[in-house]
Amino acid sequence: MKLSTSILIVSLNKQIGKMLSLQLANSLNMHFADCKELIEYDLFDSGAILQKCGIEYLTKRERSVVRDISTYENSIIFVEYDIYKSNLELLNQIHPSIYLRCPKRKLEKTEAINQIAFEERDLYLKNSCDLTVDISSASKLALAKIIKEIKQKL
């Protein structure tokens, strides 16, 4: 595995994953980027674009943003499962990729699809990411564990 200058973080729990990604970026003195926020910023109103231009155009615009993100340097990049899976060939350029694995019970009610498909998605991320770190909250202990795992395994 060739290491890039950025780190990709994936989690099925958006809140915990994003918070820990931001904390990791701050502690490592790196930039932070939330892939979904950058896509939404670029699209401005994805619902209107979908209605007026169709799914193909929307997907093309999303891929363009992800392509740009995959070239970021000195960054911690947080990405949600759906974006990760549909853009894996682009995001595979960022190493290490780290799956922050939360227990199923820690998923938010707003993450219903992740709860329903937890076992399948969990297995997919374990197999496709370079490193899996088991966490249960966005605490300083979880952050320390992530940093320790990165240093030991990579």
pLDDT computed for residue 45 by the predictor: 56
Q: What is the CATH number of the domain that holds 44?
A: 3.40.50.300
Boundaries of domain holding 34: 7-139
DSSP 8-state secondary structure symbol assigned to residue 135: -
pTM of the predicted structure, to 2 decimals? 0.86
pLDDT above 80 for 51? no
In a domain, 2, yes or no: no
In a domain, 153, yes or no: no
Q: Which residues pair with 133 in a beta bridge?
A: 100
**Mean pLDDT of the region 6-15:** 94
Taking the C-alpha atoms of residue 109 and residue 77, their distance in angstroms, rounded to an integer, is 24
Asked if 146 and 135 touch (Cβ cutoff 8 Å), the reply is yes
Residue 43's pLDDT band (cuts 50, 70, 90): low
pLDDT above 90 for 112? no
The closest alpha carbon to 8, from 30, 39, 40, belongs to: 30
**Mean pLDDT of the region 54-77:** 84
pLDDT computed for residue 154 by the predictor: 67
Q: Which of 46-55, 115-124, 131-140 has the lowest mean pLDDT?
A: 46-55
Q: How many domains does the chain have?
A: 1
In a domain, 104, yes or no: yes
C-alpha dist (Å) from residue 80 to 1, 11, 26, 103, 108: 22, 6, 20, 16, 14
